Amino acid sequence: MNLPELALELLPERSTTVPDDAVVVEVRGMTRPGTVTVHHLGEEVLRREVPPTGRIDLGALPAGGYGVELRCGDGVARTAVEVTADPRARLRYGFVASYRPDRDPTGLADTVRRLHLTGVQFYDWAYRHADLVGGGEEYRDALDQPISLATVRRLVAAVQGAGADALGYAAVYAVGPEEWPTWEHAALVHSDGTPWALGDFLFLVDPVDAGWLEHLSTDLAASVEQVGFDGFHLDQYGYPRLAVRRDGTRVDVAESFVGMLDGLRAALPTARLVFNNVNDFPTWRTASAPQDAVYIEVWEPHVTLGDLARVVTRARHEGQGKPVAIAAYQHVYSAAPATEADVATALTMATLYSHGATQLLAGEDDRVLVDPYYVRNHPVEPTTAQMLRRWYDFLVEHDEILMAPGVTDVTGAWLGAYNETVEVTHGDVRASTMPEPGAVWTRATEVDGRLVLHLVNLAGQDDTLWDGPKRPPAAVGSGVLRVRRVGATLPRVRVADPDRSARLVDVAVRADGDVAVAELPEPHVWQVVVVDW
């Protein structure tokens, strides 16, 4: 779908910038002088008058996430920028799945920049699952899609030029019919001796078989050399958990995956490796393995917002500081109007972002994932594209209070009548520390000495399914925050909301005995409240 051009648009030249390098923002549609401002966690750090231009150099900025706003008369445009010494510390993940000859890479590069992606999965780019680069310069993949290797290289270069890593898709234990005779001896088999398979399309081998692992390592290294990938998305299918080989050897597949990751890291020491823990299997073993993220593709029984929260919480613990990304495909876009699907996606993002994880959802040229076969992606409506931009900007601008490894959930210690420390109310609407239909889901985290509250509006919803159509968020009215004071001073309270207040803004705080009281604006889907003591 071709989306209408915004009258005024800001795009970072790169999705991330390293410290000491100038932060540069491209301006589209600027026809008169304007004022650019830069904020860091709500504090203005730069303001400058700029002439009509196509490029604004903001100079070097310290590490952190920033909101950038340009005002030209009645026109306003926003974006966010990230400055970090370690771009791989965050995985804002996107995808590409079309490699037709002569494809223009500009749309994909714009998506990387617009949504601040740090990694792009090149889905089904290879010739065959067990022969990645054996098809020559033009071929049809295993599912008969046309592939031009020259196009893949152009897209790789475009992604890298926009500031992200290009990660080639590779299945870690899948062999097609043509290659199967070579690897049949390493098969994982059922009790009747038939091989584990994905339909009749792919057959599974023990991923830590010495011969297979050497072949896979060599194939991946050749892909780096011939295509230019920065690393690989390492896929599996979620089964089997336990199996036997042809010779009767019992295989704990979780342990085989760990051995496979050890071997690939040794063979590709600088590559960015992202392994797919399908439906959380086996996150408990692979999260600490030598890879660069904890990535989980969720399916039943992980169907509610609460399920997502629990998956992320454990993944962050097991990952010991690695970024966490969740593949939560929003099939709802294929079955419901965009207005209802957008609310479902917003609630999904609110859950993931507030728990310190990101979502693999957006990619290509304004498309989202609705199916595990990424070729069947979904073109977005303009309203969806605008919503995604707001939310990804919000994520980057508030990265330090959302994604930092040191964020600690303190909900049970701070909220609730027993604790008598923090209370948030919205009139007659119920507050709950659990994601419940009809309630404002209220959580507390602690980061860098701040208390950060997350208010997710589930009022008006009949369920908490993350992939089901949702009504517009119900009006819950303004909120009242009551927090026990520390000493004689009043805390500073600030509020942000990806749909209503893009950056943190102060709200009035008054004393009521030993309690500080703040009036909070009405939340839309998700409101973040920061309390500085």
Q: Where are the alpha helices (DSSP H) in 228-304?
A: 253-267, 283-286
Let me know: does 216 contact 172? Beta carbons within 8 Å.
yes
Amino acid 5: pLDDT: 41
pLDDT per position as a tens digit, 80-131: 999 999 999 999 999 999 999 999 999 999 999 999 999 999 999 999 999 9
Domain 87-327 sits in CATH at 3.20.20.80
Q: Do 87-327 and 408-532 have matching folds?
A: no
pLDDT per position as a tens digit, 40-92: 999 999 999 999 999 999 999 999 999 999 999 888 999 999 999 999 999 99
pLDDT per position as a tens digit, 143-166: 999 999 999 999 999 999 999 999
C-alpha distance from residue 405 to each of 163, 335, 399, 411, 414 (Å): 22, 36, 11, 17, 20
Whether the ω angle into residue 240 lies within 30 degrees of 0, i.e. cis, is: yes
pLDDT per position as a tens digit, 441-459: 999 999 999 999 999 999 9
Nearest of 50, 46, 28 to residue 38 by alpha carbon? 46
Bridge pairing between strands 34-40 and 64-72: antiparallel
Let me know: does 422 contact 438? Beta carbons within 8 Å.
no
What would the mean pLDDT of 374-392 be, rounded to a whole number? 97
Amino acid 216: pLDDT: 98
* pLDDT exceeds cutoff 50 at 440: yes
Amino acid 4: pLDDT: 39
Three-class secondary structure of residue 161 per DSSP: helix
Bridge pairing between strands 358-360 and 324-327: parallel
Helix (H) or strand (E) segment spanning residue 152: helix 149-161
Q: Provide the residue ranges of all domains of the chain, joining segments of one domain with +.
A: 9-83, 87-327, 408-532
Write out the two tokens for 439. 């309630």
Amino acid 1: pLDDT: 36
What whole-number distance in Å separates Cα of residue 208 and Cα of residue 251? 10
C-alpha distance from residue 472 to each of 361, 379, 390, 425 (Å): 21, 22, 17, 20
410 Cβ contact partners less than 8 Å away, ≥ 6 residues apart? 444, 445, 446, 451
Q: What is the residue-averaged pLDDT of the chain?
A: 96
Amino acid 419: pLDDT: 82
Domain 408-532 sits in CATH at 2.60.40.1180
Q: Is 238 exposed, middle or buried (0-12, 13-18, 19+ CB in 10 A)?
A: middle
Helix (H) or strand (E) segment spanning residue 10: strand 9-12
Amino acid at 202: L
What whole-number distance in Å separates Cα of residue 120 and Cα of residue 136? 23
Amino acid 366: pLDDT: 95
pLDDT per position as a tens digit, 218-277: 999 999 999 999 999 999 999 999 999 999 999 999 999 999 999 999 999 999 999 999
Q: What is the pTM of this model?
A: 0.96
Q: What is the DSSP letter of 430?
A: P
* pLDDT exceeds cutoff 70 at 3: no
Let me know: does 397 contact 43? Beta carbons within 8 Å.
no
The fold for domain 9-83 equals Immunoglobulin-like (2.60.40)
What whole-number distance in Å separates Cα of residue 387 and Cα of residue 336? 17
Amino acid 2: pLDDT: 38
Rounded (10°) angle between helices 338-354 and 305-319? 30
Let me know: does 50 contact 19? Beta carbons within 8 Å.
no
Per-residue pLDDT band at 199 (split at 50, 70, 90)? confident
Return the bridge partners of 11, or none. 26
Amino acid 489: pLDDT: 93
Return the bridge partners of 518, or none. 481, 509
Chain-centroid distance, C-alpha 266: 27
Three-class secondary structure of residue 486 per DSSP: coil
Q: Indicate if the alpha-carbon torsion angle 206, 208, 214, 220 is positive or negative.
A: positive
Nearest of 265, 210, 204 to residue 232 by alpha carbon? 265
* DSSP letter string, 354-383: HTT-EEE-EETTTEE--SSSGGG-EEPPHH
